[in-house]
Amino acid sequence: MTFYASRRIYKAKRRIPDYLFEQPIVNVRLVEERVKCAFVTADKLLKQFAELGIVEEVTGAQRNRRYEYAPYLALFGPAEISQKGRE
C-alpha cells in the first residue's frame, strides 16, 4: 500500500463516525458516496467498524448489507427503532 493510499483510507476512516451521527443506519454505497472513497474501501472500513463493535451488521446477507450505529440509536428509544429498519 502506498503512502497516498493509506492516507486516503485514514481520512475516510475519520469521516465515518461523523456520518454515523447524521445517518445511523447505512450501507456500503451510502458510506462510499458520503466519504468519497471506493466501494471496496467503504466495505472494508464498515467491516472493521463492525469488528470493533462500533456498528452492527443487521441483515445477515452477503449482498446489500445494512449497518446500524446501535449505541447511538439506543439513546433515542427502545429497540423497536432498530427493528423497524429490518422489516
CB-CB neighbours of 57 under 10 Å: 14
Query: In tens digits, what is the pLDDT along the chain, a chain of 87 residues?
Result: 555 567 777 788 888 999 999 999 999 999 999 999 999 999 999 999 999 999 999 998 888 999 999 889 888 876 555 555 555
* 3-state SS assignment for residue 66: strand
* Residue 25: its H or E element: strand 25-27
Structural domains of the chain ordered from first start: 3-84 (1.10.10.10)
Structure confidence at residue 78 (pLDDT): 67
Q: Are 40 and 81 in contact (CB under 8 A)?
A: no
pLDDT for 50 equals 95
Q: Residue 19: what pLDDT?
A: 93
